[in-house]
Amino acid sequence: MSDNLLKNKLAQGEAAIGPFVNLSSGALIEIAAYAGFDFVILDTEHGPLDIPTCEDLCRVAHGVGITPIVRIRENDAAQVLRALDIGAGGVQVPQICTKADAEAVVQAAKYSPIGMRGVSPYTRAARYFADGGAIFERLNEESMLLVHIEGVEGLENLEEIVTVPGLDVIFLGPYDLSQSLGIPGQVHDPRVVDRMKEAVELINGAGLTVGTFADSPETAKMWIDAGVKYISLSVDTGIYLRGCRQMVEEVKG
């Protein structure tokens, strides 16, 4: 059994939900865990978070039993390395368009004999050399690799992408996909939904987990029913805004 709680849950075929996180508050990570979320995605692509802040948020997440995932800005080996060295449970990589893109993620994220991840036993992920460096096989097993398919090119190459060993989750990005299809923001349009459902079937058939973003519980349930198991449910800022707005409207009428 892996120490990665999220990886274990997905391996058992269960659905997992968690928000994107833009705010640098450890309290919000704790609240997310107490609310019952399974993971948080620390967003360095669209959010303002940096690696030192993400490392501290990973500590908080591990302390309350919720898995931290770091979304990096681009498919860059140095960014993959830093996200995993701080002890994130996985790295989420945007804009994967080809099999070569996916292979580059695996090479950057896994140690030999699987990949060529840079080695330092003095990181948080390696427990600062507390185990004498005998930890790299475990890290290969524990770390999750989640790659984003966000455009038509990625969908067209999906059959090849799912054959890359080492991937855990193929994340379908509905907003960027809608833009790629020429209907930006229209994530509930049948042209987006139908293409995503075709991709879900292909990914599940390859034995990988499918992920996507849902902006509401209703959308999340729809995608779970369609076979998606890794659900990014909203964003911390959006959750807070909706909660505040609802209370204000209830008071002011």
Catalytic residues: 46
Q: Strands, DSSP E only, in 16-168? A: 16-21, 39-43, 67-71, 90-93, 144-149
Whether the CB-CB separation of 87 and 61 falls below 8 Å is answered with no
Q: Are 65 and 33 in contact (CB under 8 A)?
A: yes
Helices (H), 3-135: 5-11, 26-35, 51-63, 77-85, 99-109
Helical axes 99-109 vs 77-85, angle rounded to 10°: 40
Residue 178 has φ and ψ, to the nearest 5°, of: -60, -40
